[in-house]
Amino acid sequence: MIREALAQKVTSAIVALHKAGTLPVASLGTVEIADTKQPEHGDYACNVAMTGSKLAGMNPRALGEMLATELSSDDAFEAVDVAGPGFINFRLTQAYVSRFVTLVSCVSLLPTASNPKKINVEFVSVNPNGPITIGSGRGAAYGSTLCNVLEAAGNEVHREYYVNDGVNSEQMRLFAESVKALLEGREVPENGYKGDYVQGVADALRGSVPADADLNELKLQAELLMIEKQRLDLAAFGVNFDTWFSEQSLHDAGEVDAEVAALLASNVADEKPVRTKLKLAKGGKIEDVEVEPQDEGDTLWLRSTKFGDDMDRVLRRRDGRLTYIASDVAYHKDKFNRPADTDKLITVLGPDHHGYIGRLQAVVAAMLIAEGQVNPVSNDEPLSETEAKLYASMEERNLCLAAIKQAQEKLDVQIFQLVRFLKDGKPAPMRKRDGNIFALIDLITEIGEKMRPEGTPEEKQQAGSDVARFFYLMRSHDTTFDFDLNLAETKSDENPVFYVQYAHARICSILKKAEMEPIAGQYTERPELELIKKVVDLPNEISRCAEDYGVHRLVTYSIELARAYHHFYNECRVINMEDIPTSQSRLALCQVTQIALQTTLKLLGVSAPEAM
């Protein structure tokens, strides 16, 4: 809130100087306000004098001093100074900062949407042949929090789980054969699935599925049981979806066949017996193009190298079976129409899926061409030697390049990295004693038992989910990190989840016991002012997370907010019956801090307990 207000003041100063004839332009570009990180220099800083100096045709330092002079008469500022080559530093008055306590009490701490979008977010989406693992737990925590943040920023968000249940899946066939072997009292195939959950599926199906059941029918029933198990485990983790979308439904409706025909008709797919591969340098620049002859046959190729993928992909095998790439094209077309005119797709994938970024963007680009939704760019330059190996003409190149750009705008692929679990400072083998997989629900249960040993099953589950989600989200999703199980199970301020939740519980206790009405007043103590600035920074944090998908910053924010509150509580006596006005104003500050903590924890999918 303060950042936005300061940015508006700077913008108004620029306009005023332009109207006065002092500044040749009415805008210096985007005005961004940042922390100074050095309190002795002020509260906030702005570098618009440097970024906008070219537009103004002025020296950055001189422009900064001009803006500082214009702003210095505003009663919001105790001082406005220029540092270095043109940084403008602001020191705010206590009265100005104090006003925001009343403002938080009256308005939402969520940012105002400037350009809301319809966004489909697909995440988790593991095969229906096993439980949700602790590895997938990171993607579940990240994806659901990202949805919450995007929604808080004003977007319309659709949460989607893609069920990979296509009839041609080799993994699903092996899963069904494993279940069938157990039903018949045989050994599971050597390359089959051997976890105890497979025995659980077989036991659940025993008696309800005929002994001579067709493998496809058995596969369907086993998948349904596994999907329901996944759904329940994710719900226990605070993760729910608007749609569980079946890949097989695309085949059943004929949408995959129709899309393959459209790709053929638009010449982005063909049966020529060659496969093109690209040697890509950093930044996706093409270093070399290799064209490999293939055996004659009926293989159908998606010419995805025309759209920046590192190799052409098979759409239909020689034996007539369609690949998952064929399903992907139909699936992305379908997603763009649920709801109608979806603006953006976000797909969250696990580790080792970096190759899928170019692959999926190529799929979307090909689909856009097949659907006639691409306007070619205007480029009269002749084909380069490299381009001539990929494209038949300048017109085809221009169309494909336009499709690539459009696909990159419409599809974002986010990759989350591995989690290493530690116990007693050493890597923990996350498998049960019998060698079976350690599922996400097992992690939730183990942590919940330690955090709430006397609690109800529901309380234990909530505690386990809270800690697991918070820990999964503590680091940026695109970096590996260590999940410290000892710390996660500690009930002390060392545990960041406990630390943040305790701040909320402490506020609830104070507000409940207080026998006076919270009334915002004048704040003069440094801990009060620092806490106010941290509270009102939440909308900015949400906006930043919604822009670059770095939701881990909300965890950092919650810890910093809790730290600011604990410091305020220790330094400033909240309830003093001998000074009612000060007590009421500090209760009001407690109240707005509670709002900020509740909002942040809700976005993270973590509970805000009223007592600890």
Res 165: pLDDT: 86
Cis status, amide bond into 339, omega within 30 of 0: yes
- Collapsing DSSP to helix, strand or coil, 145 comes out as helix
H helix runs in 515-551, sequence order:
526-535, 538-548
Res 282: pLDDT: 80
CA distance 128 to 230: 8
Res 234: pLDDT: 98
CA distance 303 to 117: 31
Instruction: Show the 3-state SS of 218-275.
Output: HHHHHHHHHHHHHHHHHHHCCCCCCEEEEHHHHHHCCHHHHHHHHHHHCCCEECCCEE
Mean pLDDT of 396-408: 96
Percentage with pLDDT > 70 across the chain: 98
Tokens 């693992």 found at = 133
Burial 402-414 (b: 16+ CB within 10 A, else e): bbbebbbebbbbb
**pLDDT band for position 245 (cuts 50, 70, 90):** very high
Instruction: Tell me the pLDDT tens digit for each residue of 154-188.
Output: 999 999 999 988 767 788 889 989 999 898 888 88
- Collapsing DSSP to helix, strand or coil, 596 comes out as helix
Tokens 């909002």 found at = 599
Q: Is the pLDDT score of 81 beyond 80?
A: yes
Q: Is the pLDDT score of 41 beyond 90?
A: no
CA distance 343 to 580: 53
Q: Are 153 and 113 in contact (CB under 8 A)?
A: yes
- Collapsing DSSP to helix, strand or coil, 611 comes out as coil
Q: Which CATH class is domain 496-604?
A: mainly alpha
Instruction: Tell me the pLDDT tens digit for each residue of 96-136.
Output: 999 999 888 777 788 877 789 999 999 999 999 989 999 99
CA distance 448 to 463: 5
Res 435: pLDDT: 46
Among 162-166, 245-249, 478-482, the least confident range: 162-166
Res 141: pLDDT: 98
DSSP 8-state class, residue 185: T
CA distance 175 to 126: 14
Percentage with pLDDT > 90 across the chain: 78
CA distance 100 to 536: 7
Res 436: pLDDT: 57
In this structure, what is the dihedral angle of CA atoms 4, 10, 12, 18, given to the nearest 10 degrees?
A: -150
Q: Are 443 and 137 in contact (CB under 8 A)?
A: yes
CA distance 477 to 139: 8
Domains 2-92 and 496-604 share a fold: no
CA distance 460 to 236: 11
Tokens 């009102």 found at = 536
In this structure, what is the dihedral angle of CA atoms 192, 177, 138, 111, given to the nearest 10 degrees?
A: 160
Contacts of 261 (CB under 8 A, 6+ apart): none
Res 434: pLDDT: 46
CA distance 6 to 14: 12
Each domain of the chain, given as residue ranges in start order, spans: 2-92, 253-342+352-415, 496-604
**Per-position DSSP letters for 50-75, written without gaps between them:** HHTHHHHTS-HHHHHHHHHHHHTTST
Res 433: pLDDT: 45
Res 190: pLDDT: 84
Contacts of 465 (CB under 8 A, 6+ apart): 236, 237, 238, 444, 448, 605
Show the tokens assigned to 97: 């900062």
Residues paired with 133 in a beta bridge: 439
Mean per-residue pLDDT of the chain: 92
Mean pLDDT of 594-612: 96
Mean pLDDT of 280-284: 79
Res 437: pLDDT: 58
At position 367, the amino acid (one-letter code) is M
Please report, for residues 16, 22, 57, 66, the alpha-carbon distance to residue 87 in angstroms, rounded to integers and kept in the order given: 20, 20, 17, 12
Q: Which long-range contacts (CB under 8 A, 24 or more apart) does 37-43 make?
A: 41/81, 41/83, 41/89, 42/79, 42/81, 42/89, 42/90, 42/91, 43/90, 43/91, 43/92, 43/533
* CATH placement of domain 2-92: 3.30.1360.70
Res 211: pLDDT: 65
| CA 205 to chain centroid | 37
Tokens 């602001």 found at = 90
Mean pLDDT of 504-515: 94
Show the tokens assigned to 169: 């899946």
In this structure, what is the dihedral angle of CA atoms 361, 251, 348, 358, given to the nearest 10 degrees?
A: -20
Q: What is the largest CA-CA distance in the chain?
A: 93
Q: Which of 471, 506, 507 is nearest to 486 (CA)?
A: 471
DSSP 8-state class, residue 483: E
- Collapsing DSSP to helix, strand or coil, 181 comes out as helix
**Per-position DSSP letters for 147-180, written without gaps between them:** HHHHHHTT-EEEEEEEE---TT-HHHHHHHHHHH
**Per-position DSSP letters for 328-377, written without gaps between them:** HHHHHHHHTTSSTT--EEEEEE-TT-THHHHHHHHHHHHHHHHTT--PPP
Q: Are 47 and 9 in contact (CB under 8 A)?
A: no
